[in-house]
Each structure stands twice: as C-alpha cells, then as structure tokens.
Amino acid sequence: MVEVTATAVADVIGIMKTDDGQHVLLGFRDRGGVEHRLALDKKAVAGMLECIFEATSLAPLPKGLVPKEHYLLKPDWSELWGLQGTNETLLTLFRGERHLSFLLPPGMVDQICEAADLILATHSGSVVTDQSGKVKQAIGPLVDA
C-alpha cells in the first residue's frame, strides 16, 4: 500500500478571486489552526467540483430518501436549456453570481417534470422513482430540512 501524506482540513475559511481574475483562492484551516490557500484556475475548479461530487459518496443517499443534513444547497433561481442538435438539457442553478450546471441525459427532464407535477399535486410531497427513473409513488409532506 502506498503511504500518502495529507493535511486534515478542520475548517473551510472561504474563497476569493485573485486580482487578475485567473484563479480562485480556496482557504482552509488545518487541525493545528494553520491557514492554507489553494489557487485554482477554471479547469482546476471544474475538477474540484467533480471530486467534491464524488466525495458525497462518503454519505450515500439511497433513492427515495430526503436529505436532512449534508450537501443541501439553496439556489435562488435556475435556467433550463435544450442543447441544439442533441437530446440533452443543461440545468444551471444560481445563487447570486455562483452557479452549478448539470448536463441532463435524454429523458431526465421528463422524469423531473413528472415528479414535480406529483409534488405540486400533493402539496409538498416527495416522489420515489425506480431504477429507470419512472415515478413509483408520491409521499408527502416533506420532512423539514
């Protein structure tokens, strides 16, 4: 087994853009209280997001369960765009100037719309889908987040 040296992050301090706008500085504090900064360019930010998304597997969320604690982001608005020449859809969630985009495969928008219709019909219910994404049942109301 390969031995890896790592710094345990105790707290994420925040981010800021560099003066030239080419990097984002991600600040964190280690367990000893020492502050560190990572300088990430746009490509590295995209890679970091992919890794963070993968890291959520540390606390798996089985289908049909409402997340109660971790990884809940609250966007202010969203945009949904059909990509010309494909069956794919781009979903972008915004909070202020921040944004996170998802490339939705064919059929997922229909699944989301069907689930949303059921939630609206049951006034704040939730929806369980099977492996193919088809709605199995609506459950309501949602638990408090």
Shared domain check, 113 and 82: yes
Shared domain check, 74 and 39: no
Task: Give the pLDDT confidence score for residue 46 in this predicted structure.
Answer: 92
Per-residue pLDDT tens over the stretch 30-73: 999 999 999 999 999 999 999 988 888 887 777 776 666 666 78
In a domain, 1, yes or no: no
Shared domain check, 124 and 91: yes
Shared domain check, 112 and 75: yes
pTM for the structure as a whole: 0.67
Shared domain check, 113 and 48: no
Shared domain check, 138 and 119: yes
Domains contained in the chain, number: 2
Task: Give the pLDDT confidence score for residue 86 in this predicted structure.
Answer: 86
Beta bridge partners of 103: 90
Q: Sorting pLDDT into bands at 50, 70 and 90, what band is 143?
A: very low
Shared domain check, 106 and 46: no
Domain limit, last residue, from 58, 78, 97: 58
In a domain, 92, yes or no: yes
Give the range of the structural domain holding residue 14, as residue numbers without chain letter. Answer: 9-58
| Cα Dmax for the chain | 54
Tell me how far apart the alpha carbons of residues 65 and 126 are, in angstroms, rounded to a whole number: 9
In a domain, 43, yes or no: yes
Tell me how far apart the alpha carbons of residues 67 and 54 are, in angstroms, rounded to a whole number: 16
In a domain, 83, yes or no: yes
